[in-house]
Amino acid sequence: MPRLKKCPDCGGKMERRKTKFIMESEKGLIAIESIDADICTICGVEYLTAEADEYIEKIVEKILIKKIQSHQEAVFRVAEEA
Ligand SMILES: [Zn+2]
C-alpha cells in the first residue's frame, strides 16, 4: 500500500508516525504499541499501514488462541524497524 501523502478526509499533510492500537476482546483489553500509521497533521485521523494491519491481526489471533488471561491488559511492543 503506498504511503498516504494527503489526508483523504481533509486534504491535510500526512505524517508517518507511531501510534498505539487498542481493542476490546473477550480476553480483556489488547494494546499494541509502536504501530506504524499515517497520521493527518490537521485533523489527526490515523490510517494504519498494511503491514501494521497484518501484524495486529496476527497478534490478536495469537492472544485469542493461546487464551492469555493472566493480565487484564496484554501489551505488545513491535520491534523497532530501521
Ligand atoms: Zn485530515
Please tell me the predicted confidence (pLDDT) of residue 1.
52
Per-residue pLDDT of the chain (82 residues; tens, 9 = 90+): 567 899 999 999 999 999 999 988 877 788 888 899 999 999 999 999 999 999 999 888 888 887 555 454 455 554 444 3
CA of 39 to the centre of ligand 1 (A): 8
- Using the mean position of ligand 1's atoms as its centre, give its distance from the Cα of residue 37 in Å: 13
Q: Is residue 43 part of a domain?
A: yes
Backbone angles phi, psi at 74, to 5 degrees: -100, 120
- Please tell me the distance between residue 11's alpha carbon and the centre of ligand 1 in angstroms: 6
Q: Residue 82 falls within a domain, yes or no? A: no
Please give the residue range of the domain that contains residue 73. Answer: 14-77
Contact 55, 78 (CB under 8 A): yes
- What is the three-state SS of the chain? CCCCCECCCCCCEEEEEEEEEEEEECCEEEEEEEEEEEEECCCCCEEECHHHHHHHHHHHHHHHHHCCCCCCEEEEECCCCC
Assess if residue 21 is contained within a domain: yes
Q: Could you tell me the CATH number of the domain that includes residue 62?
A: 3.10.20
CA 78 / ligand 1 centre spacing (Å):
26
Distance 5 CA to ligand 1 centre (A): 11
Contact assessment for residue 71 and residue 36, using Cβ atoms and an 8 Å cutoff: no
Residue 60 lies in a domain: yes
> Which pLDDT belongs to residue 70?
46
Number of domains into which the chain is organized: 1
Question: How far apart are the CA of 8 and the centre of ligand 1, in A?
Answer: 7
Question: What is residue 43's predicted lDDT score, i.e. its pLDDT?
Answer: 97
